[in-house]
């Protein structure tokens, strides 16, 4: 069982339940070498983990008569995952065990999750060779499942995305517990991060979202934030030990040799007590053990940082910091420009969006805003559109203008040309950008897009490029009556899609005495909805009912299974396993209409999961109910 608790981009903080044991994801599995346990498994609890991975092939070859119970053998009562020897097969070309033998052995010793003997495909292989390896892997997968269901389903295919897609789809049809992405270690070793991310994204997009994804061999902490953001739930690390054996010191942004360090930047127990010089003076066994402890400490520290970033909606900020660690990482961020990630990402975040480089412009939140603008928003027909240059916020206060029946204002920003009535919606009101002069070309492109999409709504269009000229124009305007009905309709259409805004008539608003922002919207003297801090509207049951009359099913809807209806009517949350169907455009964080199969409005709530996750997850909350019938 896997349940999502928090989300950011494609990253998920979740709970994975295996044999009545719980693992919080993203999780790191330290690799245990049965021949040389640099750190005893029972001590892993100190680092905050209850899951590890060890090599079943080594156990089978060298400890077969000693291992009856893998947990007792390792003196570890957490989750034990075993690999099959595929890594040795990739490195050495041959191992002396069959697929059936190694799977049966893992079953006998009580592995919580075993792995069949897949055929890893290195990036240097041709398409035909990779295809042959994949076909053999699939045959072995089916053979293994006849022995035990408690298995990983490794996804192979080399560097070829079409084969990775085929492998993901075919493997997903088989009842594996976890889906590791194999054959990626050479890409990491050669800093081919763009290819690595493309492969992971292809696998994540084509593997059901209720199944965890594992990046085989991804053990360096500098990669954790990137891989978590594209949907990796599990990592494994032998690097903490291997690096220590070579006197290498891990950090969250790279690796150093002990010889090039004058002092330790870390404050773990090892680094507090020792200096690089004193550590080098120790005997080899002691030095390796202490250095491995530091490497494991820094790995788990980074993983906790990643989980915290997901919880706070700051994963992109962490990624952009880490991307400066290596030019290849910064270049590889282009792989994140995927519609798949935008559909999974919450529409709003806890904190303001920071600009920290041009790659910030293809953040998923900004793409989501543009998609919603061009798909949902329909401006009222007016005689004139005036596009103002980017300025201080709130834009309406800075320019001292508002929309009227004859003039519609919009503001050109580097990520979208924003209609003035949407200025309080995230991320328009909650971002910190650099001087706009650096992003002039991007801003002009967004102006062209807006005009192209909405030119039929206006008889005249005027674009100001300089703030001074725009201010002079705005100051010259005579006092005009604000078209508040048009403004509220624009917001509702943007959020719920046209023609939801037509549900509003004879609009009245109540504003915050402190900020002046609209807090409540009334239509025909009835409360239609209240505004969230991020500018999105929370409709009342009445307001939602009025919009539902205009929105064709399943638009903006989450449709319940019959058995869940009585509970949701009483205000209980909607669980994913009770979602019959939903609008395929729903993103996490959106307000949705909750209906039964006859399209009767049951409740209104905030989506916790994306539409695809609602349909694929088997546990966890899909929608938090705000208002209900009873």
Instruction: List, in order, residues 6 or more apart from 440 with CB less than 8 Å away.
Output: none
Is beta strand 234-237 parallel, antiparallel or unpaired with respect to 213-215?
Answer: parallel
Nearest-angstrom CA–CA distance, 286 and 281: 10
**By C-alpha distance, which of 550, 401, 560 is closest to 489?**
550
Return the DSSP state at 113. Answer: B
Distance CA 465, CA 387 (A): 9
Catalytic position from the list 8, 83, 233, 487: 83
Q: Look at strands 518-523 and 507-511 and give their pairing.
A: antiparallel
Picking from 341, 347, 350, 342, the residue whose alpha carbon sits closest to that of residue 312 is 350
How many Cα atoms occupy the beta-carbon half-sphere of 192 within 13 Å? Answer: 16
Helix, strand counts (H, E) of the chain: 24, 29
Cα–Cα nearest to 357, from 412, 309, 319, 320: 320
Nearest-angstrom CA–CA distance, 11 and 25 = 10
Candidates 218, 214, 216, 195; CA nearest to 204 is 214
Element (H, E) at 569: helix 565-569
Contacts of 80 (CB under 8 A, 6+ apart): 51, 52, 53, 54, 70, 71, 74, 110, 111, 112
Q: Annotated catalytic, 83?
A: yes
Q: Please name which of 558, 562, 566, 569 lies closest in space to residue 623, comparing C-alpha atoms.
A: 558
Characterize the bridge pairing of strands 79-83 and 51-55.
parallel
378 close to 493: Cβ distance less than 8 angstroms: yes
> Would you give the distance in Å from CA 479 to the centre of its chain?
47
Nearest in space to 500 (alpha carbons), one of 569, 450, 557, 418: 557
**Alpha-carbon separation of residue 554 from 342, 382, 559, 587, 596 (angstroms):** 21, 31, 8, 14, 11
Strands (E), 95-252: 114-115, 151-152, 179-181, 213-215, 234-237, 248-251
Name the nearest CA neighbour of 234 among 106, 115, 404: 115
Residues carrying an active site annotation: 83
């Amino acid at each position: 069982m896997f349940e999502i608790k928090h989300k950011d981009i494609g990253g998920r903080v979740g709970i994975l339940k295996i044999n009545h044991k719980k693992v919080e994801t993203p999780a790191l599995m330290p690799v245990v070498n049965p021949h040389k346990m640099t750190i005893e498994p029972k001590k892993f609890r100190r680092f905050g983990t209850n899951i590890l991975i060890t090599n079943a092939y080594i156990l089978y070859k060298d400890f077969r008569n000693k291992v009856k119970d893998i947990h007792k053998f390792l003196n570890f009562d957490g989750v034990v995952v075993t690999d099959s020897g595929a890594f040795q097969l990739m490195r050495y070309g041959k191992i002396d065990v069959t697929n059936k033998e190694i799977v049966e052995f893992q079953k006998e010793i009580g592995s919580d999750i075993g792995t069949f003997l897949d055929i890893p495909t290195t990036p240097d292989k041709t398409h035909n060779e990779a295809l042959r390896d994949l076909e053999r892997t699939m045959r072995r997968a089916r053979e293994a499942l006849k022995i035990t269901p408690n298995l990983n389903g490794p996804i192979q295919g080399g560097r070829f995305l079409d084969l990775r897609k085929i492998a993901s789809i075919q493997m997903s049809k088989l009842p594996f517990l976890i889906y590791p992405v194999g054959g990626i270690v050479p890409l990491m070793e050669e800093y081919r991060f763009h290819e690595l991310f493309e492969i992971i994204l292809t696998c994540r997009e084509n593997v059901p979202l209720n199944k965890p994804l594992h990046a085989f061999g991804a053990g360096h902490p500098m990669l954790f934030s990137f891989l978590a953001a594209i949907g990796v739930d599990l990592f494994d690390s032998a690097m903490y030990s291997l690096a220590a054996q070579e006197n290498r010191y891990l950090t969250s942004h790279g690796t150093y040799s002990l010889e090039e360090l004058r002092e330790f930047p870390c404050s773990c127990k090892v680094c507090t007590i020792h200096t690089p010089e004193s550590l080098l003076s120790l005997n080899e066994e002691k030095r390796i053990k202490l250095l491995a402890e530091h490497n494991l400490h820094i790995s788990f520290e980074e993983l906790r940082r990643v989980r915290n970033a997901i919880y706070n909606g700051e994963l992109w900020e962490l990624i952009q910091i880490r991307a400066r660690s290596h030019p290849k990482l910064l270049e590889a961020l282009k792989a994140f420009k995927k519609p798949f990630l935008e559909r999974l990402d919450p529409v709003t975040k806890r904190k303001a969006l920071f600009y920290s480089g041009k790659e910030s412009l293809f953040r998923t939140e900004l793409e989501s805003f543009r998609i919603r603008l061009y798909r949902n928003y329909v401006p009222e027909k007016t005689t004139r559109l005036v596009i103002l240059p980017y300025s201080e916020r709130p834009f309406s206060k800075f320019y001292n203008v508002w929309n009227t029946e004859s003039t519609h204002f919009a503001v050109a920003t580097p990520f979208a040309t924003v209609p003035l009535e949407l200025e309080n919606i995230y991320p328009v009101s909650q971002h910190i950008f650099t001087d706009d002069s650096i992003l002039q070309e991007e801003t002009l492109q967004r102006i062209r897009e807006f005009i192209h999409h909405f030119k039929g709504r206006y008889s005249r269009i005027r674009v100001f490029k300089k703030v001074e000229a725009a201010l002079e124009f705005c100051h010259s305007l005579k006092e005009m009556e604000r078209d508040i009905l048009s403004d509220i309709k624009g917001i509702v259409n943007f959020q719920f899609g046209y023609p939801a805004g037509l549900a509003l008539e004879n609009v009245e608003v109540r504003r915050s005495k402190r900020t002046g922002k609209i807090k409540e919207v009334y239509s025909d003297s009835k409360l239609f909805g209240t505004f969230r801090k991020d500018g999105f509207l929370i409709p009342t049951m009445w307001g939602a009912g009025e919009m539902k009359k205009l929105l064709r099913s399943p638009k903006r809807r989450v449709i319940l299974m019959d058995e869940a209806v009585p509970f949701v009517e009483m205000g209980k949350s909607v669980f994913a396993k009770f979602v019959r169907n939903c609008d395929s455009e729903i993103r996490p964080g959106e307000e949705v209409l909750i209906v039964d199969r006859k399209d009767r409005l049951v409740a209104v709530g905030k989506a916790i999961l994306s539409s695809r996750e609602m349909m694929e997850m088997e546990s966890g909350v899909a929608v938090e109910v705000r208002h209900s019938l009873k």
